């Protein structure tokens, strides 16, 4: 099926919230990783989200070019070409983009979509994220509101972050962040709603924080407080009715228990970002292949090695298959198995 257009993407999110499941959103840095996501989603019969970060885009463009927007375009164009071969919808999203990178990442991608629309072509991306969490909330929203207005004109959704996710992702650290900022308050959520709702008819996602931490952690290490989401949603419903409830995003889920994940989904999470766990799933079989076939992949003492062992297609296929299995686990954790729109 094609990449989800605006109408389909909105329908996906509405169904997720109504039926209390969430879509996994996977960060990718290459065509192989994107293929793994599509494979896992298709085998799970679940629609989903493929996303590219600033660092992922820069990597995808090549070390000599190092252009985050160009790399993101390349991955998105690949997904547009191959998505028709799969029986699920996939939305294309860009992950964390701080204010100082908007002009070199998100804005060029919005411009690319605007250019495509003038030519009668579908949007390049389905949504973008602006991460203004390092700013005071007013400064965050002062940038987010006009950005949402521009996105809305081109049928793009915008994701913002209210609060700070701890840990490190894509080279950006939240070290030294006051503990209070790791937990989004109902008052903060109401302020975000008042500001963003000024853009009439626009659809947006909110990454509210409830103790989330980016990075690698053993189960039980990360102490989440999903009730924070419940309290915020209750305040929003009181102020705006059920239509005012946020479509929430769960960042930093590594190390979270299944119960915590599903409790967050119960409170309105419709999208959960996954990166660390799929990175490991991708790399693990490559490492295993290298250890098992050391003399085949290394030309030891003047020998020629074994081409069948060092051909990148051999171990990259293993990586794709392993990552696809981790995608399927994420879908199951989020109650998404068998929810594809095509089957509805």
Catalytic residues: 95
Pairing of strands 23-27, 269-274: parallel
> Residue 301 — φ and ψ, nearest 5°?
50, 45
* Residue 168: count of CB within 10 angstroms of its CB: 13
Q: List all residues 6 or more positions away from 1 whose beta carbon is below 8 Å from its beta carbon.
A: 83, 84, 86, 87, 88, 89, 342
The kind and range of the H/E element at 325 are helix 312-333
136: left (phi over 0), alpha (psi -120 to 50) or beta: beta
* Residue 103: count of CB within 10 angstroms of its CB: 10
* Residue 200: count of CB within 10 angstroms of its CB: 7
Q: DSSP readout, 252-293?
A: --TT--HHHHHHHHHTTEEEEEE-HHHHHHHHHHHHHHHHHT
CA 207 to CA 15: how far, in whole Å? 19
- 23 and 143 Cβ atoms separated by less than 8 Å: no
CA 185 to CA 210: how far, in whole Å? 9
- 161 and 251 Cβ atoms separated by less than 8 Å: yes
- 228 and 210 Cβ atoms separated by less than 8 Å: yes
């Amino acid at each position: 099926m094609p990449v989800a257009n605006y109408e389909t993407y909105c329908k996906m999110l509405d169904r997720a919230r109504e039926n209390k499941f969430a879509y996994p959103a996977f960060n990718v840095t290459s065509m192989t990783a994107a293929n793994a996501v599509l494979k896992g989603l298709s085998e799970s019969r679940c629609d989903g989200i493929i996303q590219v970060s600033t660092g992922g885009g820069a990597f995808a463009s090549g070390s000599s070019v190092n252009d985050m927007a160009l790399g993101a375009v390349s991955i998105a164009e690949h997904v547009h070409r191959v998505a028709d071969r799969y029986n699920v919808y996939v939305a294309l999203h860009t992950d964390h983009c701080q204010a100082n990178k908007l002009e070199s990442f998100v804005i060029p991608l919005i411009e690319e979509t605007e250019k495509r629309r003038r030519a009668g072509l579908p949007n390049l991306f389905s949504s973008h994220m602006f991460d203004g969490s390092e700013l005071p909330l007013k400064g965050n929203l002062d940038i987010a509101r006009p950005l949402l207005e521009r996105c809305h004109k081109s049928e793009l959704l915008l994701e913002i972050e209210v609060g700070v996710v701890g840990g490190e992702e894509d080279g950006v650290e939240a070290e030294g962040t006051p503990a209070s900022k790791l937990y989004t308050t109902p008052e903060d959520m109401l302020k975000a709603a008042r500001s963003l709702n000024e853009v009439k008819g626009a659809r947006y996602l909110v990454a509210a924080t409830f103790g989330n931490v980016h990075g690698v952690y053993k189960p039980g290490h990360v102490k989440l407080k999903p009730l924070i989401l419940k309290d915020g949603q209750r305040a929003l419903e009181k102020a705006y009715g059920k239509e005012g409830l946020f479509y929430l995003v769960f960042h930093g889920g590594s190390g979270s228990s299944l119960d915590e994940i599903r409790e967050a989904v119960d409170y309105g999470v419709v999208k959960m970002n996954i990166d660390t766990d799929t990175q490991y799933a991708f790399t693990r079989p490559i490492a295993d292949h290298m250890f098992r076939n050391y003399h085949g992949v290394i030309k030891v003492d003047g020998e020629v090695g074994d081409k069948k062992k060092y051909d990148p297609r051999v171990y990259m296929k293993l990586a794709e298959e392993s990552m696809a299995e981790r995608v399927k686990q994420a879908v199951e954790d989020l109650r998404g198995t068998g929810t594809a729109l095509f089957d509805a």
